[in-house]
Amino acid sequence: MSAKPVKKILIVGGGTAGWMTAAYLARWLEKVDIQVTLIESELIGTIGVGEATVPGIHQFIKDLGIKESEFIRATNATFKLGIEFENWAGIDKTFFHPFAGYGVPIEDRPFYKTWWAANKQGYTEGLDKFCLCTQLAHAGKFALPSFDEKSRLAWYNYAYHFDASLFAKFLRGYAEQRNVKRIEGKINHVQLDADTGFIQSVAMDSGQVVESDLFVDCTGMPALLIGKALGVGYEDWSHWLPCDSALAVQTTSVADPDSYTRSSARTAGWQWHIPLQHRVGNGYVYSSQFISHDHARDELLNNLTGERVTDPKLIRFTTGMRNNFWTKNCVAIGLSSGFLEPLESTSISLIQTGIAKMTGFLVNFEIDEKHVAEANRLNRLEYERIRDFIILHYKLNGRSNPFWQHVRAMTIPATLEEKMAVFRDSGDIKILEQESFQADSWVSMFYGFGQAPSVLAASTDTEKIHTIMQKMKSAIGKGAQLAPSHAEFIQTVGTT
């Protein structure tokens, strides 16, 4: 098949995925003669959740040329330094997954290995004490990182929590100002070319027919184009990730916002707490095989702080991914391409990388099979790596309810099995192609769940090592003391 030129792009769907794609394309195509159109149906609406992110979101905002302060104000955003996992490792046990590493290497050895070797010999100070990002979060503080070579302890990253509907509105304004055309209405038919199987056009309830060269399916879980019209199958991963439901509810804030997301383990899943400037997003992700919807609802409502401002909304899902996210002239971005539960806030990041793959492999604005195949290969790897990282949280849990026993006992993908074995045997972290979570993140999980490498050579000069560690710890403690509170920091951003 010869490469097909693209002169028109139609995005179907106006949720987070649709408007992120529209905004990005508007900027990317500023000087190119390609018309971008978006169709969305207010009647159908959007999923309306998805408010915690990972640090890659900075790049998206930067690529659009938007000032951070403008973005924070427009979306009522707060800063996020990582995720606190409450009761996952066992009752009353808490650990933190920071957007950062621990300490700085000593004698060319990763700090965490030095720490584990010292810990095996009785060193009692926790690994967390060597992470400024974690210490800031625990103290309710926030400061921008410094990437100065002299301040390596201040090398950390951060992301945001934001209001999903304000985010989509903000991006819509951005895209429409840059010539993205929006059409309101419901699509009821997708017309395929009888010879090529490519999508030719979509037909709407109003009778309007819209043709295009490239179609971006942002219709969410129904996957109207890639799934229903083109018949691309969905790979179900619920045998590894059995949560299949979520109840989402918003509450008023009763305290200054934390600079992190909280994930609290519950009877048959976990509850999220996402603090925004003006309210808190909460939800319970659970397995309906192990708890009824009514009991899950009661458990969620009994564990809220603040007044409810919405009724709990039930969302059903199947964890997994579309066999190919790009087929013929259709690219699936967002929930139409797959879903991994929001434990590590990865869906918006997958939207972003999906857009990057689509634009990166649309070489010379043409659809070429070999580029499409490579985009699909990379997309699959990226999904599988994140899947493994999420499964790890369940596999290592230290809880006793039936759900938790079940996920601890389940067989896991061979790729994850191997990573766990490598860590156990050597303390090394095996990083594969398209890995979203780097070594520091895996270390924080192994540490948080009380795992340790079986053998690690101890330092010959213990005293010297302890002195260096002591200095690092006290520098981090001072750094955390000097930082402003998270609430103060947000206020300053609001005035810049």
Ligand X SMILES: Cc1cc2nc3c(=O)[nH]c(=O)nc-3n(C[C@H](O)[C@H](O)[C@H](O)COP(=O)(O)OP(=O)(O)OC[C@H]3O[C@@H](n4cnc5c(N)ncnc54)[C@H](O)[C@@H]3O)c2cc1C
Site string for ligand X, 235-254 (x = CB under 6 A): -----------x-x------
- Residue indicated by tokens 């949560």: 243
Cα(200)–Cα(410) distance, integer angstroms = 45
Q: From 115-123, 206-214, 343-351, 443-451, give the range in contact with ligand X by CB under 6 A.
A: 343-351
Query: Min. distance of Cβ 138 from ligand X in angstroms?
Result: 21
Task: Confirm if 443 and 450 have CB atoms less than 8 A apart.
Answer: no
Query: Min. distance of Cβ 240 from ligand X in angstroms?
Result: 17
Decide: is 345 part of the binding site for ligand X (CB under 6 A): yes
Cα(57)–Cα(436) distance, integer angstroms = 13
Cα(297)–Cα(144) distance, integer angstroms = 38
Cα(281)–Cα(435) distance, integer angstroms = 28
> Which 86-125 positions form the footprint of ligand X (CB under 6 A)?
none
If the CB atoms of residues 6 and 203 are measured against ligand X, the closer one turns out to be 203
Which residue from 245, 251, 253, 250 is spatially nearest to 269, judged by alpha carbons? 245
Q: From 67-75, 293-301, 345-353, 464-472, give the range in contact with ligand X by CB under 6 A.
A: 345-353
> Which 212-231 positions form the footprint of ligand X (CB under 6 A)?
218-220, 222, 224
Cα(141)–Cα(124) distance, integer angstroms = 25
One of 9, 14, 354, 459 touching ligand X (CB under 6 A): 14
Query: Min. distance of Cβ 449 from ligand X in angstroms?
Result: 22
Sheet-wide strand order for 199-204:
187-192, 199-204, 209-211
CA 70 to chain CA mean position, Å = 22
> Which residue in the list 80, 328, 357, 419 is annotated as catalytic?
80
Task: Confirm if 325 and 354 have CB atoms less than 8 A apart.
Answer: yes
Tell me, yes or no, if 478 is annotated catalytic.
no
Query: Min. distance of Cβ 205 from ligand X in angstroms?
Result: 8
Site string for ligand X, 359-398 (x = CB under 6 A): ----------------------------------------
For residue 485, list its beta bridge partners: 141
- Residue indicated by tokens 């520091």: 440
Decide: is 39 part of the binding site for ligand X (CB under 6 A): yes
Query: Min. distance of Cβ 347 from ligand X in angstroms?
Result: 3
Decide: is 47 part of the binding site for ligand X (CB under 6 A): yes
> Which 162-201 positions form the footprint of ligand X (CB under 6 A)?
186-187
What SS3 state is found at 189?
strand
Query: Min. distance of Cβ 360 from ligand X in angstroms?
Result: 20
Alpha-carbon Rg of the chain, whole angstroms? Answer: 23
- Residue indicated by tokens 């996210």: 325
Cα(160)–Cα(416) distance, integer angstroms = 28
Helices (H) and strands (E) in the chain, counts: 14, 23
Q: From 33-41, 192-200, 430-438, 455-463, give the range in contact with ligand X by CB under 6 A.
A: 33-41
Query: Min. distance of Cβ 400 from ligand X in angstroms?
Result: 25
Decide: is 56 part of the binding site for ligand X (CB under 6 A): no
Long-range CB contacts (within 8 A, 24+) of 89-95: 89/396, 89/397, 89/398, 89/448, 89/449, 89/450, 90/398, 90/399, 91/399, 93/398, 95/128, 95/444, 95/447, 95/448, 95/449
Decide: is 82 part of the binding site for ligand X (CB under 6 A): no
Decide: is 257 part of the binding site for ligand X (CB under 6 A): no
Q: From 8-16, 87-95, 131-139, 425-433, give the range in contact with ligand X by CB under 6 A.
A: 8-16
One of 145, 312, 342, 354 touching ligand X (CB under 6 A): 342
Task: Confirm if 205 and 186 have CB atoms less than 8 A apart.
Answer: yes
Query: Min. distance of Cβ 249 from ligand X in angstroms?
Result: 11
Cα(439)–Cα(44) distance, integer angstroms = 41
Q: How far is CA 86 from CA 45, 149, 278, 346, in A?
A: 33, 34, 24, 19
Decide: is 18 part of the binding site for ligand X (CB under 6 A): yes
Which residues lie near ligand X (CB under 6 A)?
12-18, 39-41, 44-47, 49-53, 186-187, 218-220, 222, 224, 246, 248, 283, 315, 317, 334-335, 342, 345, 347-348, 351
| Catalytic residue list | 80
